[in-house]
Amino acid sequence: RGCREEAGVRSPLMLIIALLPLARSIALPAAVSRAVWASHHLFERPLQSAVLEDLANVKVPAEEDREILAFAARPKVPPGGALPVLLVLHEFWGLSGSIVDKAQGLADELGCLCIAPDCFRGETTDFVPKAIWLALSTPQQRVNADLAAVLRWAASQDGVAENFPVGVLGFCFGGGKAIGFTTTMRPDAATVVFYGEPVLKVEALAALSAPVCGIYGAEDPQPTTNRAAAARFRSALAEAGVEHDVTCYEGVGHAFWKDMGQIERRETPQIAAWRQSTTFLRTFFDG
């Protein structure tokens, strides 16, 4: 897709320098770690760029008279029965065209109501330092409140089952927030983490009553999402007694599933990760 050359952000070192003013708000080692990780994205723009309001097709009522912008997708071919619900959480760029496309693809494949909310409350970017800042300044508690509001809205939608099964799938930033949400708010929801920072505390994972799927890249350079992190996640889930399916795919790094075109072209290992995640969710939704 061509080289990414935002002014002043052309190397991991420049990213670290860009993050230094944030040291008062976050621990410097964490900022440096995030900068090294984010440097992996330097040549990866979001595949589609659009105004947030143009991407969203629904406004979900929330507390304090707010509205959460979201993209809601229904399957193009309606299923025979009631719809389960899948939340799709974006990466640190914010809601993007590629996330919208993935949400529609997942809705079609799984026969579910798929909702991709704006977890940044009105922000989206393709500038790496801002993306890092948005991720670091968006607490789990705030995301939890917004996802709970989205699920309340989903319960009122036509065709949704009365006690609908819930899945939460997230990419990168969204993957970490997905497992954070299910371990604290919705232990009965299935979780799919695409290269997101895992929850490793056994006592937190033990609260889950639904299964977990983890998908990682073996060449991911970030310590919190690399091969070793995936292995720690797998071990913690096993110790907690949680049904799980955690895979680390060889030959790819962070954020290796970029768009639905890779699925249509049956690229490897993207098609394998797609089949793993959709089979996992279909099995859960079918009960």
Q: Which residues contact 32 (CB under 8 A, 6 or more apart)?
A: 16, 19
Task: Answer yes or no: is pLDDT of 116 > 60.
Answer: yes
Report the candidate in 104, 101, 125 with the shortest Cα–Cα distance to residue 52: 125
Q: Measure the CA dihedral 46/62/164/171, to 10°.
A: 20
Q: Which residues contact 232 (CB under 8 A, 6 or more apart)?
A: 198, 200
pLDDT of residue 50: 63
Task: Answer yes or no: is pLDDT of 192 > 60.
Answer: yes
Tell me which DSSP letter residue 198 carries.
P
Which alpha helices (H) appear in 111-216, and where do they start and end?
128-136, 140-155, 173-184, 202-205
Separation CA 69–CA 53 (nearest Å)? 7
CA dist 70 → 34, 126, 142, 266 (Å): 27, 19, 16, 28
What is the radius of gyration, based on Cα positions, of the chain? 18
Q: Residues 217-235: what's their mean pLDDT?
A: 98
Per-residue pLDDT reduced to its tens digit, 96-110? 999 999 999 999 999
Average pLDDT, the chain: 88
Q: Between 258 and 50, where is the model more confident?
A: 258
pLDDT of residue 29: 47
Per-residue pLDDT reduced to its tens digit, 4-51? 333 333 344 445 444 544 444 444 445 445 554 454 454 454 433 468
